[in-house]
Amino acid sequence: TFTFCIFFASSHFLLFWGLLRAEETETESKQYSCLPEQPDPHHLSGDFLRQSLGPGRAPRAALPEDVREPHRCSWTIFVDRGAAPLIRVRLPHSWRKSPVSRLVCLIAQREGLPAWDVHLASARGPLQAHRALLSCVLFRETLFLRRGPPSSDEVGIDDGARTTLWVFGRRVCGQVSPPVPQPGLTLHDVRSVALGAEHVLVVTRTGLALAWGGNSCGQLGTGDEKPRGWPTSLHLLGAVRCASAACGPRCSAVITLDERLWTWGEHQPASAPALLHTSWVNRHGATDCGLHAAQVAFGGAHMVLLTSGGAVWTWGYNESSCLGWPAAMVHASLRHGFQKPRCPVVLPQALCVAAGAAHSAALVDAGGGRGVPYLWGDNSCGQCGVGGGGCLPLPMPPPGFEAESVSLVRCVGGTSVLVCHSGRCYLLGGGARVEAASSSEEEGGISEGASSAGSEGEQEAGGEGGDGAAAVA
């Protein structure tokens, strides 16, 4: 009796599973069917031909040269036609270098529409016809078929210039590489690049984000911790259009066109891209931190965000008072452990921000085109411009710059770099203020004395020679 019951239950389960699977297959074939009644072998991909004509029915010579082998048709794209079912397009691997206009002609012929009267768009915006597919389309992405040419407001200004990323320096194997174009980015137009301790993050003109390098803390944004030696597109950011990139030692961030901040990696919400405003770091939307983002800077374990309105937000570890909160001077709990965003730092309207290993900086608009730097946090090397070491709990302008108008502030390790409108560059760190360059006094570049002063600044950067050299460079 027991054996009969087992046999009866298993047979009914297999029958039910078979009927369910058949129904799913029928639904999928209806939803993604894109087979034309009379396919044209000169314009349709190999996947269309094999599904419409069946195996053995299409002559081998009728297929284009790049679609004869089934295993090479490995690029899948979905096209949304509105109320009609989706179109599934499987393209050969060699199509990644083809222009978007080739795919538009393929879809337009399938739909019986003139190719000049339709265009394709992704979640990041319309696709420009002259760009390569790999530079603006992700694998298994859903595109939208729209009538008419794209408007100039949606496409934006394209000056036709191409930007290529060149890399050089010491590799992981120990060899020193001369300047060479980064492999894997030849089809992309790079617009923003950021460097971490062991990884690189770039943003292209079409709004795609690509990363490669070390991934021990999920700083690549791929959702895992496997390193990548080749530029990898971040599919988790495929629905947004990135505008700029920023990196910390083992974390990354992008700011989208709608001024929202996405972060991931060490000391961040997750190892995959997450919207900071709605994440647990911001108490799921308790403050406005992460909205209207204009610039973000990463320190060793703290973050500084500048909004488009000039407000400055800080969060992270506050042992060195690098967050600049007045309440931390009274409540010891705000100086230990990970601190979530509370309120903007008390500052006038800021123009740019920077973060070092354990200190922060902001450039404030003083009116009349004059910029005043404010620094706070760790001052053990004099990086805040005040002698005596210790920490500065609140933002303060360094003494001695009342007559200077600062145009740029940068922090590297235990060093602060101030660039003035007059062309002078000052290094704060190592217990002394060093004038690094005076390019406005002599024509033809940096003078001999300025070069020697820069070398002295590198030696006095204090404990982080590599960071000091990078600041001078």
pLDDT number for residue 417: 93
Q: Phi, psi (5° rounding) for residue 232?
A: -115, 130
Domain 292-473 classified CATH 1.10.3720.10? Answer: no
Distance CA 88, CA 33 (A): 7
- One fold for both 24-152 and 292-473? no
Specify the CATH number of the domain 24-152.
3.10.20.90
Model confidence pTM above 0.75: no
Crossing angle, helix 448-459 and helix 465-472, to 10 degrees? Answer: 150
pLDDT number for residue 261: 96
* DSSP assignment of 16-61: HHHHHHHHHHHHHHHHS----SS--TTTS-HHHHHHHH-TTTS-GG
> On the CB side of 26, how many CA atoms lie within 13 Å of its CA?
6
pLDDT number for residue 453: 34
Distance CA 393, CA 327 (A): 10
pLDDT number for residue 148: 82
Distance CA 306, CA 329 (A): 23
Query: Are the CB atoms for 383 and 428 separated by under 8 Å?
Result: yes
pLDDT along the chain (473 residues), means of 10: 84 74 45 34 36 35 34 68 80 83 86 85 85 84 84 53 82 81 86 93 93 93 90 90 94 95 94 94 93 95 95 94 93 92 92 94 89 93 84 91 89 92 87 42 31 33 35 31
Listed by start position, the domains of the chain span: 24-152, 171-285, 292-473
* DSSP assignment of 93-131: GGGGGSBHHHHHHHHHHHHT--GGGEEEEETTEEPPTTS
Distance CA 305, CA 358 (A): 15
Helix (H, G, I), strand (E, B) or coil at 441: coil
pLDDT number for residue 202: 96
pLDDT number for residue 456: 35
Q: Dihedral of CA 397/401/407/410: which sign?
A: negative
